[in-house]
Every structure is written in C-alpha cells, then in structure tokens.
Structure 1
Amino acid sequence: MQTPLLLLLVLIILVQAGTSFPTERRGSQAKYASWDDVNVVAHGLLQLGQGLKEHVDKTKVQMRDVNAKLKAFNSTAAELGRRQQEQDRDLKARSKEVEERERLVEQLADEVKAKVEEVKAESEDIHSRMDRLEEKVEGAVRDPEVESNDSDHSRVPFIQRMLEAQNRRIDGLVEKIKQQQDKLEKQSLHLQALQSKVRYTKRIKSHRRRDEETVLKGEAEQSNAPTGLARDCHELFVQGQRASGVYTIQPQDSRPFSVLCEMTSEAGWTVIQRRHDGSQNFNQLWESYQKGFGSLIGEFWLGLENIHSLSKQGQYTLQVELSDWAGQEQSTRYQFKLDGEEKKYALHLDQDSSSGVQENTMTTGAAGLPFSTSDRDNDLSADTNCAGLLSGGWWFSSCGESNLNGKYPRRPSHQSRRQGMFWTTAKGRNSSLKTTVLKIAPATVKQ
C-alpha cells in the first residue's frame, strides 16, 4: 500500500524538477539556481530510496515470521491428526475388549442358568424318589399279611432303619442342593455386578472420548452436566429396573459408587448394611466405617460418607429387618436422616407409623445420635466408651439400647450377650439375632 504512494511522489518531484530547468540560456545566476534544485531533488531521491529499502527489509522480516507460524501450525495439525488416529485405534481396541467381556458375561449367565435347571431337575427327582419310597414303606407296614405273620414282623425294624438311612441321605442331598443354590445366587449377583461395571465402563469411555475430542479441537469447557447414573436404587426402579442386585449409582454432588439394590413391587431399596453368616468382621475403626467395608454379595457396611450422600438428597425412610435363630422376623420403619462428618454423622430417627403399629423402637432425640467407634468415642455415655465395650461401630446412647454391628454369634446362645448383635424392643432386649438388613428408600414412595 505504501510503495505505490512513494513512486507517485517520486514522479511528481521529477516533473516539478523538469519544469524548473530553463529552456533558454539565461545568466549564470539562473544556471546556478537550477543546479541547486537538482541537488535538492537528488537528496530527496536518496531519502526515498532509503525509505523504500527499510520498508522492504521490514516486509522480509514479517514474511519470515508468517512462514515460521505456518510451519508451526502445519506441525501442530499433523500432531493432532496423529493423536486422533491413535485414539481411534485405542477406542477400537477397547470396544473389542468390552465386547469380549460382554460375551464372557453372557456365557457365564447361560452356564449358571443351566446349572440352576440341572439342580432343579435333581431336586425334583429326589423328591419323586422319596415319595415312591414312602409309599412302598407305608404299603409294607399296612399290609395285613405282614401284620399277621410273626416272622415278617422282624422286617419292620429293618425297613425303619433303611428309611432312616435314606432320610439321612436325602437330608444330605438337600443340604448340598441348598449350598449349590447359595453358590448360584452369589454367582448371579457377581454376574450382575460385572454387567453393571461393563455398562458403567462404556459410559465413562464415551464421556472420556468426547472430552478428549473437545480438548483437541480447542473447545474444552468445564461442565457440570449429569453422568446419566441414577441417584439411588429407587430411581433405577423408576427407570424400569426390577431385578435385585449390584448397581452403580451417583447421588447428587457425589462420586459414583456401587450399591446393593433390593427391588420390591413398589420401590427400589438401597441396602446400607447386611449381616447373615458372620463372614465379615464388623469390629472396625472410624476410617473403615466412614469409607465402608465388606462385599456387596455377602456381608457389608456401605460407608457413612456414602450413606450421607444419599440422605442429603431429601427425606428417606429407613427399614430395619431382623430375624432370630428361632426363625421369627421383625421389621421397623423410621423417618431417616444422617448428618455429615462435621456433625459426627449424627443419626435422626422418627417412628414411622404409616405401616401400622410397630413395637420395635429406637430413639435419637432432637440433636441426633453421633456415630461412635472404639478409636472415636462420640457416644452419650460420660464414663464409658460404648464401642470399645460392646464391639463394632454404632450410634450409641447409653450402651444398652441397640448395636447391630456387634460380634456375630457363632451359635444361638447368650454367651456373647455383652458384645453381640442386639436390638431392644417393647418386649425387652433381643440378643439372639441371626440376620440384619438396613435399607433406605425415598420417603415419598408409597409402601
């Protein structure tokens, strides 16, 4: 843009210089004046040339900078293309791996179903054989000829012994069938957990790929968009899930974690504690009770932090289900709320009478009961560490109302009454508990 203007200026100066030369001879004074004009024009031309040279030099420097930036841009674009190709290859490999896992999970599910059918067929065969044997024995005992023949009376004890032996064999087979069924149920829960993990891995990889593509395009932005995971088991129920098992959830403003969901015909319950065989040691310290421990397909404690992340989403109902060694079952419901760590995970319970009169009671008071362990004494007893005295961690008031996290009794006796699992009812303290389940669901659910 500046170069044409400079050339135009040079032409104008040259024209003016030409018109200044005389056409006829004049005096020596006029001649000297014209040479002065020529010197002025020459000096101006030199300055213009110097300006043109400086302009050209600056233009060269700018061109070099532009070329360097173009090379850097080309190398960056090539690097981005290479990284995109690598990510595509990695995504394909991961997709194949996920497909292989799904195939294995489906294969295991088919094997489990086949085993279940085989066990059912064996059980039916055993029962039919048992029925036929009982018919034969009853026919032999009631036969008049047998009763009238004294020599045949000696066969009755033999038949009875044979029947007792057969009953023992049948009892043993029934016990084995029960064990097989327990194993199959655990395998089924394990398969459900694997399927849930596979689905969760797919979603995480999809979100990760989307974020990486956004970063590569230079459009990465912080986002608080939801992950697509349910906030609790009842939300899974609302979405159409009807099978009880292990699922991955993500409460509001919390990280994802796995839970055991118990689906009923009306709601989905999130299980926060379960005990049934004493396979898990519940005599743990504060940090373990805070994070959770155990196996979701066996005995476990979900974790105070996880329970609090569920509770802070709204009002929940807590259902306490107990059974003793005599086979008697008890159930209680409360309006449930759990504070955070800053308030020592204080428990707030109000009796829920919506399902009828209930005789099981646990009171927390307006301030709530803080959670206590042997290394974090938060109970309301002034001179006793209830968790250290009774074993396990619990919401203790005066060490004597309840403790469902105590030692599991190895047999239905009262020898471990002091440190065992117990729950106080209107009829008195129950210290022979065999199973416990604590589960929660939104209070808005009609039970």
Structure 2
Amino acid sequence: MRRAPTASAALVLCAATAGLLSAQGRAAPAEPPEPPRFASWDEVNVLAHGLLQLGHGLREHVERTQGRLGALERRLRACGAACKESGASAAPPRAPAGLGPSGEAAPETLGSLQTQLKTQNGRIEQLFHKVAQQQRHLEKQHLKIQNLQSQVSLLAPMHLGHRMAKPGRKKRLPKMAQLAGPAHNISRLHNGGWTVIQRRQDGSVDFNQPWEAYKAGFGDPQGEFWLGLEKVHRITGDRGSRLAVQLQDWEGNAESLQFPVYLGGEDTAYSLQLTAPVASELGATTVAPNGLSLPFSTWDQDHDLRGDKNCAKSLSGGWWFGTCGHSNLNGQYFRSIPHQRQQRKKGIFWKTWRGRYYPLQATTMLIQPTAAEAAS
C-alpha cells in the first residue's frame, strides 16, 4: 500500500522545521558570533501553531489509514467466509494481489502495513515531543522579549525614597534580642496604608510550593504566609508601588529597605519591574538606564533569567529570580546554619546584606500603591 505523499511531505517539513528551531542560536565555528536577535512573539507563535497543526494533521491521517485498513480486513475476512459457505462446486474467486487463497489478507502484507503504521506513529510522537519542547522555549523567549521591551519603554525614570538603603551604605539597626524593632516598623507602616504580603519567622509553613499556590496564596496570616501574587496585583493595579523589605539575622541585627516597583499581571508572569539603582538587589547583572523586569518563577514554572538552570528547582521556593544568587526570601527555613555550602544556598538570603550563604531568621515584605502613599 502506497503512503499518501501529503503525509510524507508534512512529516519531512515538520522534521526540518523542528531541526531548524533546535539549531537556532548555534553560530558557525568559522564566523564571529552575531548579536542575539529575538523574533517577535507573533512570528514564533505562528511557527509553533503551524507545527502543532501539521502534527495534528499527521495523526489524523494515521487514524484514518488505520480505520480503512481495519474495514478492509473485516471485509476480506467476511468475503472469505462467504466463499467457504458457497461450496466446492462454485469456482473460487480470484484473490486480489496480496490476499491468500481463502480471501484473507496475506499475513506478510498485513504485517508490513502494521509495521509501517507503527513506524509512522513513532515518528509523529517524536515530532509532538519536539514541538512541545520548542513551545516551552518559545514561551520563555516571549518573557525575555517582554523584559527587553520593559527596559526600553515600560518604566518611567523613578527615584529612590529617602529611606532606601543604598549598596555599600546600608544602615544597620541596633542589636535586638527579639523582633521588637521590625514589629514596631511594621505597625508604623500599616498606619501608612501598607499591606503585608509575606512573613517568615519560624519555618512553620512550607514555601516550596508550585505556581498555583504562589498565585492564590498560602499559610496563616497570623504567622507565616504568602498573600498571593494575584491579590498583590489587584492591590497595586496598574499603578506604581513601593515595596518594603525587612530582614533579621540570628544575632539580632535588622535591615529595612524600601524601593519603587511595578508588579505586572499573570500575562507577564507577575514580573517585578525595578528601577536601575535597586535592580541589582534582586539579581540583575546588567541593567538598562530605566530599569529591569524580573518574572516570578516556581519549580514548575521556570521564568528566571538563567537559560541553563531552573533557579526555583535548584534553590527552593518561588521568587523573582534573576541569576539565582542574589536574593530569595521564600527559600528553605533553617533553624541553624547548615555545614554544607550547597545546602545553605537553598535558604532564605539577601546577598547584599549578610551574603548568599547566611540563612536569615525572619523576613517581612509589605507593599503600598504609590497613590496611597501620596494621600497619606
């Protein structure tokens, strides 16, 4: 049985397209590397959609072919049975090519057709797998394109507040035996229209949660909790906001930071847009003059800026990861400092204050829309 030329052509086209996509980004050895070029989201989306459509077409072709073969086999078997019932007096019908004397399909013919179908099915499954991989890469590329676009036009120039701690000149509060200092600051911030969106203090809540949990929120508002990305986005809306971060180590030292931010919606992976002076606090290595956009990442939704690593899976918890090593206030809670360096990376840390390998004792995050600050 001859295979339909359209299915073969579609399979060749899909394989060539998938190979072309997987080969993107590899420069020829003899030529100098060209600057990275990002395709528009419309282009990559159309390409991915086309690949999926071709794959679905191939699968439908195989299913139709299998149905026809099954019907043909049933008809041939019925014909063979009818020929046997007609008696030996009637001359047996001439068997078509590829059929046995009894009217049934020759075993070698059916076997060959089944083998071809299995081979074709296997190739289609491989194609679907490659298309799914390319779709994941395209989604991550889309977020990187949004990041670049935000550096160009989304952020207006903003200035740090007078309470913002600048790198290298951070104010260290007096030593405290308990959390009295941060609690007092939180109470004062509440009076100014601030909303607590995160609290870590005793390790009673597991923060290594998937995307949907970080989107909806979890924990106990009276203890450790995460308010939820969607709730925070509703609080801030499309306005700029100020984020307050309060940190405490195990020696009683505390640090309080405030800086302007803008939180995008789920279509941007709840990207946290930062101005240039504070972007390095959350892991930016190179920052455009008007800021940086950091998408939120979890172990099951990888949106970080590292193309070779899933920061949330390598570390712990969900966070606005830049390059994995600058901050993570939703990491694993340690009641004592682990001896192994690799284990300490998974903890709660803010590198520019106590370093990446120092697990903090307590953290609190608060947010306030800029309009509310102006009205207060």
Larger helix proportion of the pair? 1
- Higher RCO structure, 1 or 2 (CA under 8 Å, sep 6+): 2
TM-score higher than 0.5: no
User: Max radius of gyration: which structure?
Assistant: 1
TM-score, normalised to structure 2's length?
A: 0.44
